[in-house]
Amino acid sequence: MASYQSIDPDGMHKSIYEFPDHMLVASKIGESISLKKQYSGIRNVVVAGMGGSAIGGDVVRILVKNEIQVPMVVSRNYKLPNWVNRHTLVICSSYSGNTEETLAAFEDAREKGAQIVGISTGGILTERMNDLELEVVVIPSGLQPRAALAISFIPMMYLLNAMDLIGNNTINQLSNAATLLMKNRNLYAEESNNNPTYSLAQRIYKTIPVIYGETEATAILAVRWKGQLSENAKMLAYYNELPEMNHNEIVGWDNNKDLIQQLSVIWLKDENDHPRTSIRQASTRNIIGDLAGNHEVVFVEGNSLVERYLHLVHYGDWVSYWCAILHETDPTPVKKINHLKEILSEKS
């Protein structure tokens, strides 16, 4: 097989490797945020975004869930929820600044009278917000949006802090999380059987992964794994949540046995999982048994939830990368997304 360097000419390997470095850069951006406007009476928060920008909102939501005192949701759509009003903080997050759904959501937020801030590298979103004298956190360009996760989600966390919606607890744990990832990334970056992310990729790359996590916890990370496997490895992947899947999807592991033999189940596990969910996960794994092609339990180290969750993000990014290399597929281009954008542009 060709070396990863020849398969990956645009350097996705470097982008993933530098995730903890991006965290440090993003923290400096966050620390420099100085809001010029007053934001008051906020009763709920909506992050409007798609793809990598939307998952950034999900990561923030799950990391600050024990700090934030108002509801926070992520909207992946042209329209915002009907309840959005002047007491809503809408964070428009678009790495390129040209995401059409986010631009539409921005206009919808204006019509609904919401309090609006943006996070972007530039583009139309930044131009419109500057014209209206709305505040935008400008982040570095030059990355694929999915590789800019840290640069998207950490400034968002600092924005919430600047508006007194969260304290310093989660933010203070980011530095230790970056240190942990730096400790592990040299191993994860090796094209070697000693690398657990490479070994996992070898076991799943010829299958369709189904990733299971816990609702309002590792399920968000399962969404990230699914997206990265699709964009980097160009593989179909799916996710679901426990305990909900125990009430429907578990029954689907029955017919079409030849097909489901081609599925790999990836169980994302954390020490913070609800005790009953842990029992459900182990029991569901036994019930599915050898109906699936294989089962993989992924559990990573970390002294805090922030460290472990970001470790799981980084781990999954590497798994998706090595799946791409094993398929001898350049992980960077997203030709089908670009093709769709061309079609939509012609029909605008």
- Which positions are annotated as active-site residues? 231, 247, 341
Alpha-carbon separation of residue 112 from 40, 86, 105, 328 (angstroms):
16, 7, 10, 48
Strands across the sheet with 72-75, in order? 72-75, 44-48, 88-94, 115-120, 135-138
By three-state DSSP, how is residue 176 classified?
A: helix
The DSSP symbol for 146 reads: G
Whether a cis peptide bond, with omega within 30° of 0, leads into 71 is no
**Other C-beta atoms within 10 Å of 264: how many?**
20
Alpha-carbon distance of 298 to 325, in angstroms, equals 21
* CA angle (127, 93, 32) in 5-degree steps: 80
Contacts of 113 (CB under 8 A, 6+ apart): 85, 86
Residue pair 37/135 in contact (Cβ under 8 Å)? The answer is yes
Alpha-carbon distance of 100 to 340, in angstroms, equals 12
Strands 135-138 and 208-214: unpaired
User: Within 13 A of 107's CA, how many CA atoms are on the CB side?
Assistant: 8
Identify the H or E element spanning 224: helix 218-231
CA 158 to chain centre: 18
Alpha-carbon separation of residue 83 from 44, 57, 126, 157, 253 (angstroms):
10, 19, 25, 23, 39
Alpha-carbon distance of 85 to 89, in angstroms, equals 9
